[in-house]
């Protein structure tokens, strides 16, 4: 009879889902011994648990709100000339000024061009922040740096003032060199067959525009860029001597970043004809139409900049973690997690004095942490101190909810009939779902805001709430019913 009840318990879909997730989590974590007989897993660790460095950069730019009686395009162009820097139109009433000015310095320039400065926020727009993030990620990946994270820190107004770069396994000198190094950009022209010859390097490119559609009206996407006068002369001479102006199709221009071809295309017929008689400093590299053309244009913009950021930055903070300190943090977090589980078990035992109730509660709590670790391993989320804090918080809130279920079922210390049991369990799960929704709402701003060091805490807490409500609480309700029936 008992074996049949155990078989029935483990065939229940709620318990079965829990068991399957536990098995899958163990497979995802994959605890095993490496070649040095050290126990290792698939979990990824951040700077808190291994050697590495972090650098926080501050943007020397500002987003300014304005009003003007002049045409907006004319106003922006004149402002850019007056300030001697790039001024990018963010929307109809805001511009991004890619140079460090304070509010009092900018006001006279706006007034002289028929405008009024309405608002001022240090930082860059979200579009420029995305570009900066892509440039840094591409630069870090090109250097072969693993376990690197680039997080832009954006305020409520959508203006990004800082970017934080974390690189595991890299010391501070290496980190500063990687961030500060600019790639070697080169333009070459095809001569005969597949042979090419050098035309100019990236230092001849004076400015790079944002991706846009062709000014010729073809609808193709591309990136406009400007050559210096000397660079334009060299470009014209190379185009003529190679035959690119006469036979563009057989004399393509190739753009290379660190000796890797990133763009190759012939001169347009209009440009080829123009270069026969005059130099041109304004060029447009077409990448095609549609979404694919737009995405390629975005990548080409990054490569034309050769790793150079569109705005100047300064180091606002930096730090590093030694290998021994990271190992110490890891050991302390492991001990803290074990102690938290033991203390939870002790408090629960003191309350109920019944091992058959305490043991399932602790095991369900531990299984929840195991499932979360499995998710972390699958999505390659880096473990750091806030993440561990989130796991411990899940441990505490999880046991609270199990207590709610147990107390609701054991109302007045009496084991209820099956029908009454189901009603009480349903009431307990409703209370838990309301509490879980409250936690999700409270954690959501923390997860969405670019507070890079706290994002892990919020995400893990939210994941724990979802796993608890969907998987572990229903399974516990079924298990505790079987135990109490005895």
Query: What is the secondary structure of 371-420 as a DSSP string?
Result: HHHHHHHHTTPEE-HHHHHHHHHHHHHHHHHHHHHHHHHTGGG-PPPHHH
pLDDT given for residue 216 in this prediction? 61
Is residue 152 located within the same domain as residue 63? yes
CA atoms within 13 A on the CB side of 139: 27
**Domain final position from 306, 330, 347:** 306
For residue 454, the model assigns a pLDDT of: 76
Domain at 403, CATH number: 1.20.1640.10
Listed residues 277, 306, 335: the one ending a domain:
306
> Which stretches of the chain drop beneath a pLDDT of 50?
none
Question: Considering the domain boundaries, does residue 180 fall inside one?
Answer: no
Distance, in Å, from the CA atom of 26 to the CA atom of 436, rounded to the nearest integer, reads 26
Nearest of 282, 303, 291 to residue 226 by alpha carbon = 282
269 and 368, same domain (yes or no): no
Q: Look at the chain and report how many structural domains it folds into.
A: 3
What's the confidence (pLDDT) of residue 79?
A: 92
Query: What domain range includes position 65?
Result: 52-168
148 and 227 share one domain: no
Q: What was the pLDDT predicted at 142?
A: 63
8 Å CB contact between 358 and 348: yes
Domain membership of residue 248 (yes or no) is yes
CB-based contact 206:226 (threshold 8 Å): yes
- Residue 314 forms part of a structural domain: no
Instruction: Let me know whether 60 and 115 are in one domain.
Output: yes
Structure confidence at residue 399 (pLDDT): 86
Residue 394 belongs to a domain: yes
Which two tokens mark 348?
Answer: 């629960």
* 130 in the same domain as 108: yes
Task: Give yes or no: residues 36 and 79 share one domain.
Answer: no
Report the alpha-carbon distance of residue 85 to residue 159 in Å, rounded. 19
Q: Are residues 340 and 464 in the same domain?
A: yes
CA 161, chain centre distance (Å): 16
Decide if 360 is inside a domain. Answer: yes
Predicted confidence at residue 106, as pLDDT, reads 92
Are 302 and 418 in a shared domain? no
Whether residue 377 sits in one domain with residue 290: no
Asked whether residue 300 falls in the same domain as residue 365, the answer is no
CA distance 465 to 436: 6
Do 272 and 200 share a structural domain? yes
Residues 359 and 397 in one domain: yes
- Cα→Cα distances 196→35, 43, 109, 244, 251, Å: 47, 46, 48, 12, 9
Predicted local confidence at residue 146, as pLDDT: 59
Alpha carbon distances (Å) from 484 to 316, 361, 364, 404, 453: 59, 13, 16, 15, 44
Q: Quote the pLDDT of residue 452.
A: 58
Question: Quick check: is 365 in a domain?
Answer: yes
Residue 173, in any domain of the structure: no
Give me the pLDDT at residue 27, please: 92
What CATH number should be reported for the domain holding residue 239? 3.30.1360.200
Does 153 fall in a domain? yes
The Cα 388–Cα 394 span in angstroms is: 10
Q: What is the dihedral of CA 17, 22, 28, 34, to 10 degrees?
A: -160
Please give the pLDDT value at position 21: 93
Between vectors from CA 251 to CA 250 and to CA 253, what angle results, nearest 5°?
A: 135
């Amino acid at each position: 009879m008992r074996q049949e009840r155990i078989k029935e318990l483990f065939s229940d879909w709620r318990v079965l889902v829990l068991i399957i997730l536990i098995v899958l989590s163990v497979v995802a974590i994959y605890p095993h011994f490496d070649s040095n007989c050290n126990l290792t897993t698939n979990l990824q660790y951040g700077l808190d648990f291994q050697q590495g460095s972090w650098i926080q950069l501050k943007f020397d730019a500002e987003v300014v709100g304005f009003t003007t009686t002049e045409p907006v395009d004319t106003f922006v162009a004149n402002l850019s000339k007056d300030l001697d820097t790039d001024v990018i139109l963010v929307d109809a009433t805001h511009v991004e000024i890619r140079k460090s000015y304070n509010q009092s310095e900018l006001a006279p320039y706006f007034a002289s061009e028929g405008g009024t400065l309405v608002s001022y926020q240090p930082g860059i727009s979200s579009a420029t922040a995305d570009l900066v993030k892509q440039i840094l990620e591409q630069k870090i990946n090109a250097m072969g740096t693993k376990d690197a994270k680039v997080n832009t820190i954006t305020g409520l107004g959508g203006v990004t003032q800082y970017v934080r770069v974390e690189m595991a396994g890299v010391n501070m000198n290496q980190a500063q060199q990687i961030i500060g190094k600019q790639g070697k950009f080169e333009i070459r022209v095809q001569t005969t067959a597949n042979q090419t010859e050098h035309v100019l390097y990236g230092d001849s490119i004076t400015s790079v525009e944002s991706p846009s559609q062709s000014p010729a009206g073809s609808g193709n996407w591309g990136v406009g860029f400007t050559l210096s006068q000397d660079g334009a002369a060299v470009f014209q001479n190379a185009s003529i001597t190679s035959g690119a102006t006469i036979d563009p199709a057989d004399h393509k221009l190739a753009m290379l970043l660190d000796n890797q071809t990133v763009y190759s295309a012939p001169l347009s017929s209009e440009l080829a004809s123009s270069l026969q008689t005059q130099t041109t400093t304004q060029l447009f590299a077409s990448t095609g139409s549609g979404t694919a053309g737009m995405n390629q244009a975005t990548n080409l913009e990054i490569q034309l900049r050769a790793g150079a950021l569109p705005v100047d930055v300064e180091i606002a903070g930096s730090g590093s973690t030694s290998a021994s300190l990271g190992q110490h943090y890891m050991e302390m977090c492991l001990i803290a997690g074990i102690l938290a589980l033991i203390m939870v078990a002790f408090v629960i035992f003191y309350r109920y004095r019944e091992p058959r109730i305490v043991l399932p509660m602790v095991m369900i709590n531990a299984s929840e942490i195991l499932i979360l670790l499995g998710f972390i391993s699958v999505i390659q989320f880096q473990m750091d101190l806030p993440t561990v804090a989130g796991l411990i918080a899940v441990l505490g809130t999880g046991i609270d909810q199990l207590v709610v279920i147990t107390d609701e079922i054991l109302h007045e210390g009496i084991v209820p009939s099956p029908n009454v049991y189901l009603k009480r369990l349903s009431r307990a799960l409703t209370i838990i779902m309301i509490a879980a929704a409250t936690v999700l709402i409270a954690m959501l701003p923390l997860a969405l805001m670019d507070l890079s060091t706290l994002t892990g805490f919020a995400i893990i807490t939210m994941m724990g709430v979802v796993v608890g409500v969907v998987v572990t609480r229903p399974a516990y309700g079924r298990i505790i019913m079987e135990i109490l029936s005895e």
